[in-house]
Structure 1
Amino acid sequence: MPCSNVSNSGVLLQFASRIAVNAGEKNLPPLHLWQPQKIVDIDLSIDHQGQWFHQGDPFIRTELVRLFSTLLRLEADGNYYLITPNEKVLVKVAEVPFLIVAADVTTQADKPVIQLATNVSDTFTLDTEHPLRVITQANGEPRPYVLVRDGLEARILPQVFYQLVELAQMREEHQQTCLYLTSAGAEFQLGCFD
């Protein structure tokens, strides 16, 4: 489906106004109910560091980034869109849309529970609904991700990942030492080494 190109910066403010009217008050908006066919391209993007841009200029207002982040959806075509009842706005995402910027560990029933926070103020528990996965890059460095919601992932920043590694337990498997992290009764492998 073709995208209409819009260069007027006022369109961004109009779009934000429509979002504010259509968004839920306390919870996330009901994106699953909205299936707009009209696609708009106003040159929105998110870089590798989670910074949002409009026509190459970084967003300054964190409230606007938070608002837009609640309307973000990854669709079957592999593209990210901001969804409203009437239209969807293409968002070019360099890697994943969010970053994990903090982790807090508590215990419940003598079991560790890890709460994670994103750069757009989402907070959630690392568990089976929000699993962690680690990709080993070509240089051998781990690249950890966690599912935030509805197919949207966050990359875990290195300082947070190192905090999680310190909480992990070692286990010998297939002549390797593997690190496992437990949270809310779920177990996640962080990686293995010789």
Structure 2
Amino acid sequence: MNNHENPSNSAKETAQADNKNLMAIAQYLKDGQFGHKKSIPPLEQWHPKHCGAMDLKVKANGEWWHEGQLIKRQALINLFSTVLWKEADKFYLKTPVEQIEIEVEDEPLFVNQVDEIQIEGQRYIQFTTTTDDIVVVDATHRIFMREFAGELRPYVQVRFGLNALIQRATFMHLVQMGELTENEQGQAQLSLKSGNLHLQLDS
């Protein structure tokens, strides 16, 4: 008996299972036509069993990696982003029949566009993510600052406890929409208004 064969076989079987799970989720989403950029399944209504973890990682820079390989197909990333779920500070891909844990370094969503829109005569801030989520800033979708890896970063609340990192170039455009002042400690403070919501962000 070769003792070196078992770990290798086990790793191979795990990789095959991960690939099968990932493709099964992709096929389910396509069959259910949940891949449309504005179509988010009713994840809060689903209560599947936990089915372990797969080797899928969303890095802090926005890259998605599976089995050590960079996922380059944006359409596939967009598809999987629709079933992202957060529970007890862990991240999952969730369908009606299974909930599989994945690794997320910071947050799984990323804002790359900001616009000013008019709704019933009021001006709102609207974000678009790299996965085609549309987020209008309001009382349940607030902008906030949080530290990651020693750096203060801006985020916006999206859905189901998920947040999106506002990427640097987009944040610069956001700054231009607001007013920069100083707080009592002499730190820069950004004041923003979206509808009736007033926000102050310390940097």
* Deviation, structure 1 residue 41: 2.4
2:145 alignment counterpart: 134
CA–CA distance in structure 1, aligned partners of residues 148 and 101 of structure 2 = 28
Q: Deviations over 1:55-110 (max 9, x none)?
A: 0111122121111101010012x110100111111110010001110101134465
Query: Could you tell me the TM-score, scaled by structure 1's length?
Result: 0.84
Q: Which of residues 3, 20, 30 in structure 1 aligns to 2:42? A: 30
**Residue-pair matches, total:** 186
Name the amino acid aligned to 2:145: V
Q: Which of residues 93, 106, 118 in structure 1 aligns to 2:117? A: 106
Query: Could you tell me the TM-score, scaled by structure 2's length?
Result: 0.80
Q: Residue 6 of structure 1: SS of its match in structure 2?
A: helix
1:94 alignment counterpart: 105
| 1:44 matches 2:56 | yes
**Which protein is richer in helix relative to its size?**
2
2:14 alignment counterpart: 6
| 1:58 matches 2:66 | no
Q: Which of residues 19, 23, 29 in structure 1 aligns to 2:29? A: 19
Name the amino acid aligned to 1:27: S
Larger deviation, residues 105-114 vs 51-60: 105-114
- Contact 1:22–1:84 (8 Å) recurs in 2: no
Runs of 5+ unmatched residues, structure 2: 1-12
List, as ranges, runs of 4+ consecutive aligned residues in structure 1 with deviation greater than 6 Å: none
Larger radius of gyration: 2
Equivalent pairs: percent with the same residue? 32
